[in-house]
Amino acid sequence: MALLLVTGGCGFIGSHLCAALVARGDEVRVLDDLSTGSRANLAPGASLLVGNVADPATVRAAMQGVDGCFHLAAIASVARCTEAWLETHRINLSATIAVLDAARAGANGPIPVAYASSAAIYGVPELVPLDEDAPARPLSAYGADKLGCELHARVAGVVHGVPSVGLRFFNVYGPRQDPRSPYSGVISIFCERLARAQPIAVHGDGRQTRDFVYVADVVAALLAALPAARAEAPVFNVCTGQPTSLLELVASIGRVCRTPPQVSHQPPRLGDIRHSVGSVLRARQALQLAPPVALDDGLAQVIAWL
C-alpha cells in the first residue's frame, strides 16, 4: 500500500483515478480547489485538501510523506486559457513547477510524478497517426503551457533527479465529464442532447476525425505510468490509434441509444483541427496497456450515467 497525492482528484479524470487507487488498496490524498471539480466526485476513502496547486507552500504540505504524485490539476479549457492567459499559465505551468520542486525534497529521495500533458502540444498534425516524436507546435496558450510542463519535467530530472512521466491525453470521454460546461467535449454534449431529444450541432462537414479515448483507459495508463517515471522524463500518447469521424460518432451514439439523432449542420469552428489521431505504439509497448475500450461500450457508459 502506498500514499499517493492526486492533484485535481475531484475533477473528471482525477476522480476516476482516485477510485481506482482506493480500489487497489492505496491511501489517496487529493489536492483540489474545487473550481471545476466537486466534492461529490471525491472517491470514498480518499482525503481532501482544499487548496491551490499554484501555491508552493500548499503543494509542499500536500506532498509531505507521499510515495508518488499524479498531477492532473489544471485549467483544461483551451478557451479559458485564451481569455485568462497569465492567470491560467500560473496554474497550468507554474503549478507544475511547484509540484516538481516539492518532489525533489522527498524524505527518501525525489518523489515520482506522473502528470497530464495533452495532444494540444502538437498543434495541427502534419501526419497522422501522431507519434511522440512528431513536432510540437502548440497553437494555444494551453498547449504551450502543457509543452512547458514537459520541458520543466525534463529539467527536474536532469538537474534534480526527479523521476517523471508525461501523458499526452487525446480526446478523453466518460461519465462525470460535465456536459453542461461550455468547454465540454463533443461526446458529452452529443449524448446529453440526444438523451433530452434535442438536435445535435455538427460543425463543418462532420468528416473531421478525433481519437476518442475512454476514461478507464486513461486511468490504466496513469496507473502503469507512475512506476515508469524516470529522470529522463519520458512522455507517452494516451489514445486509441483509431480515428472516428463526427458522422461515425453520431451514428454510434444513435446505435447505442437506439434513437436516430437529429442533426443540425453548423459552420465549421474557427481553427478546428481536421484530423487528430495518436499512435499508441510507444505507450502500449512501454506500459503494457490492454486494448482500448470500444467506442460503443464507452458511449453506453456515458449514456447510462446521464
Residues of this chain that interact with ligand UD2 (CB under 6 A) are 78, 118-120, 171, 184-186, 189, 201-203, 208, 210, 246, 269, 272-273, 276
Interaction partner, residue 93 (ligand UD2, ligand NAD, none; CB < 5-8 Å by kind)? none
CB of 184 to ligand UD2, least distance (A): 6
Calpha distance 81→289 (Å, rounded) = 32
Residue 277 makes contact with ligand NAD by CB under 6 A: no
Strand 209-210 with 244-245, pairing = antiparallel
Cβ proximity to ligand UD2: between 82 and 288 the closer is: 82
Residues in 15-44 at the binding interface with ligand NAD, rule: CB under 6 A: 31-37
Q: Is 279 near ligand NAD (CB under 6 A)?
A: no
Q: Which does 269 bind (CB under 5 to 8 A by kind): ligand UD2, ligand NAD, none?
A: ligand UD2
Catalytic residues: 142
* Of 228 and 247, CB closest to ligand UD2: 247
Contacts of 128 (CB under 8 A, 6+ apart): 209, 243, 275, 276, 277
Query: Which 8-state DSSP code applies to residue 127?
Result: S
In the structure grid, which three cell numbers stand for residue 204, read together? 463543418
Prior bond to 227 cis, omega within 30? no
The reply to whether 121 sits near ligand NAD by the rule CB under 6 A is no
**Which among ligand NAD, ligand UD2, none contacts residue 192 (Cβ within 5 to 8 A by kind)?**
none
Q: Given the complex with ligand UD2, which of 184 and 301 has the nearer CB atom? A: 184
Q: Which of 149, 51, 140, 49 is nearest to 92 (CA)?
A: 149
Q: What is the DSSP string of 5-26?
A: EEETTTSHHHHHHHHHHHHTT-
Give min distance, CB of 185 to ligand NAD, in A: 6
Instruction: Please list, in sequence order, all residues whose beta carbon lies within 8 angstroms of the beta carbon of residue 224, skipping any fewer than 6 positions away.
Output: 287, 288, 289
Of 63, 46, 62, 154, give the one whose Cα is nearest residue 111. 63
246 binds, among ligand UD2, ligand NAD, none (CB under 5 to 8 A by kind): ligand UD2
C-alpha cell at 21: 487507487
The region of 8-16, 62-70, 193-201, 202-210 touching ligand NAD under the rule CB under 6 A is 8-16
Sequence-distant (≥ 6) Cβ neighbours of residue 82 within 8 angstroms: 140, 141, 142
Q: Which range touches ligand NAD (CB under 6 A), out of 68-76, 196-204, 271-279, 284-292?
A: 68-76
Dihedral class, residue 176 (left if φ above 0, else alpha if ψ from -120 to 50, else beta)? left
Q: Which of 12, 122, 212, 236 is close enough to bind ligand NAD by CB under 6 A? A: 12
- Interface with ligand NAD by CB under 6 A: which residues? 8, 10-14, 31-37, 52-54, 72-76, 91, 116, 118, 169, 171-172, 185
